[in-house]
Amino acid sequence: MAQQGARISTDRFGNPYQLIGCKDKKGSGFSQGYIELGGKLYKIEPSPASKEGVEYWVKVTLVKKRPTAGSM
């Protein structure tokens, strides 16, 4: 899900940001990805907009982390 070792950087104004890589897994032409901020995991889903003057919408959803299977 979230990138391991994802770095949070700072822009020239001192604001934190994080780059995320997204993949188009559904073939819709819009990619989706996950980001972890403040210890919480969010799903990023852009979609086309039909409203005039809006190119696309971005839905940000808080998701619960699934426990990962650790090595024994």
Q: Is 42 within 8 Å of 36 (Cβ atoms)? A: yes
Domain membership flag for residue 3: no
Domain membership flag for residue 28: yes
Structurally, the chain folds into a number of domains equal to 1
For the whole model, what pTM was predicted?
0.58
Would you state the pLDDT for residue 34?
Answer: 84
Domain membership flag for residue 32: yes
Q: How far apart are CA 1 and CA 32, in angstroms?
A: 11
- First-last CA distance in the chain: 21
Domain membership flag for residue 52: yes
Q: Is 18 within 8 Å of 37 (Cβ atoms)? A: yes
Domain membership flag for residue 70: no
- pLDDT per residue rounded down to tens, the chain (72 residues): 444 556 778 889 998 887 777 777 777 777 788 888 788 888 888 888 898 998 889 899 998 877 777 665
Domain membership flag for residue 59: yes
Q: How far apart are CA 37 and CA 71, in angstroms?
A: 26
Domain membership flag for residue 69: no
Domain membership flag for residue 10: no
What is the span of the domain harbouring residue 32? 19-63
